[in-house]
Amino acid sequence: MIEARGLVQTFRTGRGKEKKDVHAVRGVHLDVGKGEVLGFLGPNGAGKTTTLRMLTTLLRPTAGTARVAGYDVATQPVDVRRSIGYCSQVGSTFSGAYAGDEVVDHGMLYGMSRRAAVAKGHELFEMLQLDGLWKRMPKNMSGGQKRRLDVAMALVHSPGLVFLDEPTTGLDPQARANLWSHIEALRSEQGVTVFLTTHYLDEADALADRIVIIDRGEIVASDTADELKASVAGDLVALEVASDDQVSPARERLARLSDDVEVAGRRVSGRVARAGKAVPGLLRELEGACVSLESIEVVRPTLDDVFLTLTGRSLRDADAPSLEGEKQ
Ligand SMILES: Nc1ncnc2c1ncn2[C@@H]1O[C@H](COP(=O)(O)OP(=O)(O)OP(=O)(O)O)[C@@H](O)[C@H]1O
C-alpha cells in the first residue's frame, strides 16, 4: 500500500543572511502492506508529520519517490488522494453546519451520491459511537467526539488506506481508549490499512502491527514492538534472595544469562534476552544451588528503552531541535 524510497524534505527558512536549510526528513524508506497498522513513532520535531504530508501529496518531496495505493505521489496526486483517507493533526475545520451534513458533503466531494454518502455517514456515526449527534454542530461537541468525527470524515469514501496524524493528542484517557478500539476495529473488521503517527509509546505498542521509529528525520528502527524490545533491550530480571550468603551464587547464575548483572543489598538484577523462556531454567538452577528467593520480578522493556538504546536519549524527553543545516 505504501512504498517510499529515499524521501527527503528540506525546508528553507529565514531571509537574506539568516537563510537556513532545515533537514526535516533525510532519506526515508518505508513499506506498508495491505491491512497493516503501522505506528510511526518519534519525538517532537522528528519528521513524522512532514513524512505523512509527503505521502498524502500535501507536500512535494525535495527528493526521493513514493507510491501510495499504487500511485506515484509526484505524478498521480489526484489518484493518491482519491484512494486515501486523511485525518490531520489539527483536525478538520468545520463550517458551522451539522456534523452529519459535514460528513455527507465530504463524501460528495469525493464523488459519492448524496444517498450513498448519507447511508455511509449513518453507518460511521454508529460505528464511531456518534449516534444522536448527526444534527449537532461540531463546535458543540466534546474533544473526543470531534476527533471521532474527524475519523468519520476520513473514512466516508471507504478508502482502503487511512492516515491518522496523532489522532488522540489532547484527549482524556477514556476518550483515547475509546478511539483506540475504533482504530483497532478498522483493521480487524474492515481490513483498512492504517498509517498512524504518534508520540505516545503506549499507543504505538497497543495498536501497531509494526513500529517504525523516526529520529531527526531518519528511520532508526522498524519491527514489531515485541521484536524491537527483544532485540535491543532484553527483559529486566530482578531477584530478591533470602539471605546475604545467597547473593553470590544468585549473581553467578544470573550472569550466565546476562552481561550486566547489578547487586544492591539482596537484590540481584540484570537484563536477559527473552526472559519468559529463560526464567524457568534459571529458577531450577537457583534451586539446585540452594538459593531461596523472597521474590522475582520480570519487567518487560518499554519502547522507551528501545529508543534510549538506539539513540542514547529518552523518547519522553527527546525533542529533535537540531535539524538545521548549513547557513546559506
Ligand atoms: N513548513 C516548515 N518550514 C520549516 N520547517 C518546518 C516546516 N514544517 C516542519 N518543519 C520542521 O521540520 C522538522 C520536522 O517537523 P515535523 O512536524 O515533521 O515533526 P513531527 O515529528 O511531526 O513532530 P510533532 O510530534 O511535534 O508533530 C521540525 O524541526 C520542524 O520545525
* 225 domain residue, yes or no: yes
Nearest CA to ligand 1 atom 25: 44
Report the C-alpha dihedral over residues 308, 240, 262, 303, rounded to 10 degrees. Answer: -10
Among protein residues, the one whose CA lies closest to atom 29 of ligand 1:
45
Looking from the CA of residue 214, the nearest atom of ligand 1 is 21
What is the predicted pLDDT for the residue at 318?
59
131 in any annotated domain? no
> Which residues, in sequence order, are bridge partners of residue 72?
67
Rounding to the nearest 10 degrees, give the CA dihedral for residues 307, 311, 312, 315: -40
Which set of grid coordinates corresponds to residue 170?
Answer: 489532547
Q: What is the pLDDT of residue 325?
A: 42
Question: Is 179 in the same domain as 291?
Answer: no
State the pLDDT at residue 313.
75
Is residue 151 domain-resident? no
Q: Answer whether 37's CB lies under 8 Å from 209's CB.
A: yes
Q: What is this structure's pTM? A: 0.80
Q: Which three cell numbers stand for residue 245?
A: 550468603
Among protein residues, the one with the nearest Cα to ligand 1's atom 31 is 45
Question: Do 217 and 262 belong to one domain?
Answer: no
**The C-alpha cell that represents 128 in the structure block:** 464511531
Q: Which atom of ligand 1 is nearest to the CA of 9?
A: 12
| 294 belongs to a structural domain | yes
Query: Which residue's CA is the nearest one to ligand 1's atom 8?
Result: 50
Contacts of 102 (CB under 8 A, 6+ apart): 92, 94, 95, 138, 149, 153
- Candidate from 8, 19, 48 with most ligand 1 atoms within 8 A of CB, to mutate: 48
Q: What's the ipTM?
A: 0.96
Give me the residue label for grid cell 491491512: 35
Residues 172 and 87 in one domain: yes
Q: At 15, which CATH number?
A: 3.40.50.300
How do the pLDDT tens digits run along the chain, 328 residues long?
Answer: 999 999 999 998 877 777 888 899 999 999 999 999 999 988 888 899 999 999 999 999 999 999 999 999 999 999 999 999 998 877 777 778 899 999 999 999 888 999 999 999 998 898 888 889 999 999 899 888 888 898 889 889 889 999 998 888 777 788 788 888 888 888 888 889 999 998 788 888 889 999 999 999 999 999 998 888 877 668 889 999 999 999 999 999 999 999 889 999 999 999 888 888 899 999 999 999 999 999 999 988 888 888 887 877 777 665 544 444 433 3
The last residue of one of the domains, among 206, 229, 252, is 229
Tell me what pLDDT residue 19 has. 81
Examine the domain organization and report whether 176 and 294 are in the same domain: no
Mark which of 169, 196, 229 sits at the end of a domain: 229
pLDDT at 315 (0 to 100): 72
Domain that holds residue 266: 244-300
The three cell numbers locating residue 317: 524527553
Reduce the secondary structure of 101-134 to three states and give it as a string. HHHHHHHHHCCCCHHHHHHHHHHHHHHCCCCCCC
Cα 7 to averaged position of ligand 1 atoms, centre (Å): 15
